[in-house]
Amino acid sequence: TLDFHPSGRHFLQIPGPSPVPDRILRAMSLPTIDHRGPEFGALGLEVLGKIQKIFKTEQPVVIYPASGTGAWEAALVNTLSMGDKVLMFETGHFATLWDKMARRLGVEPEFLGLPGYDGWRAGVQADMIERRLREDIEHSIKAVCVVHNETSTGVTSDIAAVRGAMDAAGHPALLMVDTISGLACADYQHDAWGVDVTISGSQKGLMLPPGISFNALSAKALQASRTSQLPKSFWAWDEIVAANKTGYWPYTPNTNLLYGLNEALDMILGEGLDNVFLRHQRWGAGVRAAVDAWGLEVQCQDPAVHSPVLTGVVMPEGVDADAVRLLIYKRFDLSLGMGLGKAKGKMFRIGHLGDCNDLTLIAALGGCEAGMKLSGVELKGSGVLAALDYFATHPLRTAN
Ligand code: PLP
């Protein structure tokens, strides 16, 4: 609980769920309609058409009434069979959880990664994937699974490079990519990058509450789903893709979240995806300027792959990041992301995604700065002033 009676707005600066704009909340507050009626079919077709633009695909996008984890499971059970080998890459906590899920489902993942903790401070190394695939002469590896924006660390991965590595190795494995936290914040190109299954969720860049997730498909993924043997029913693409042709689902979809999704898609496409990406890149750079001014380290150590969605702030040796986070929450009504898995207690994460602006981020940085000072963390200078300076001297450009 807070140290004071709450007033004003809570600052939700975790890297998802992100703040839901009022416009979306209002859209979701409309009465629930008959999901088999004509009005719903029109909504379904509209949403299914617009969501393809966000994934940059002309192929089917399946929408599940589930969190992102459900869409992970859907990707695996629709394409693979018991004992199939898959190649995964340890970029952080979410890659680790996907690996664990694959094992639970009876798939055999090989978990590549940089030695020690380094993999949690860098993106996917496409050359390691290429080397491993070249060794797999009998093509026993059925899929390569990577995370585009590792939410536990604030590191992105170059998916085009992973595709390039697979092509260079001449390997026929499917490419599956988790962009649960990257979509509609960082550029993502399902078709151009030759991704077979893209997994995403509603509660990050799409600015919706949790509860919807996605599989964007390819012809090759659909082909694999015809022979894959892992048990599936609720997740099975065939019936959903067939029902979606007329704007319906084989079961009850979450109607009100779809109202929200339709509104979110209008907002994002109205602003223009490239503008949305520029906005996020600029916020990322401003927040990193703050971390630098504090004299602290950003979790991501490769400047080429800093996440535009969130920034991991590493605490000095001996400082418990969770204690700092708790103090900030209690004193300033500000939620920050915790360090997950191997990063627990070592860092906290600042989300800068979706419905933010320069001043909400300045406020969030203000909470961080004051909270760190109160926790006895030695700071070199003011991150708030550095970010203010960055934002003032780097006005938001538009792409067109
Ligand atoms: N993958 C990534 C990269 C995520 O950020 C998350 C959630 O934060 C998940 C998977 C799991 O998604 P969910 O919590 O919606 O089930």
- pLDDT tens digits, residue range 382-400? 999 999 999 999 999 888 6
Q: Does 189 reside within a domain?
A: yes
What is the average per-residue pLDDT within 212-235?
98
CA–centroid distance, 212 to ligand 1, in Å, is 12
pLDDT in tens, 240-294: 999 999 999 999 999 999 999 999 999 999 999 999 999 999 999 999 999 999 9
d(Cα 205, Cα 202) in Å, to the nearest integer? 7
260 in the same domain as 124 = yes
* 201 confidence band (pLDDT: 50, 70, 90): very high
**Dihedral of alpha carbons 99, 101, 102, 108, sign:** positive
What is the total count of domains within the chain? 2
Token pair, residue 182, equals 């990257």
Q: Which atom of ligand 1 is nearest to the CA of 97?
A: 10
Q: Is the CB of 214 under 6 A from ligand 1?
A: no
317 in the same domain as 240 = no
d(Cα 29, Cα 370) in Å, to the nearest integer? 37
The residue out of 270, 300, 325 marking a domain boundary is 270
Q: Average per-residue pLDDT in the chain?
A: 98
Count CB atoms within 10 A of the CB of residue 303: 8
What is the average per-residue pLDDT within 297-324?
98
Whole-angstrom CA distances from 291 to 35, 103, 111, 366, 393 are: 48, 38, 31, 12, 17
227 in the same domain as 118 = yes
The residue out of 229, 247, 270 marking a domain boundary is 270
Token pair, residue 362, equals 């300045």
CA–centroid distance, 188 to ligand 1, in Å, is 17
* 144 confidence band (pLDDT: 50, 70, 90): very high
Sheet containing strand 108-112, edge to edge, reads 61-64, 213-217, 197-201, 174-178, 141-147, 85-89, 108-112
d(Cα 295, Cα 305) in Å, to the nearest integer? 20
d(Cα 377, Cα 50) in Å, to the nearest integer? 46
Spatial CA neighbour of 68 closest among 190, 251, 212: 212
pLDDT in tens, 316-348: 999 999 999 999 999 999 999 999 999 999 999
Q: Is the pTM of this model over 0.80?
A: yes
CA–centroid distance, 72 to ligand 1, in Å, is 9
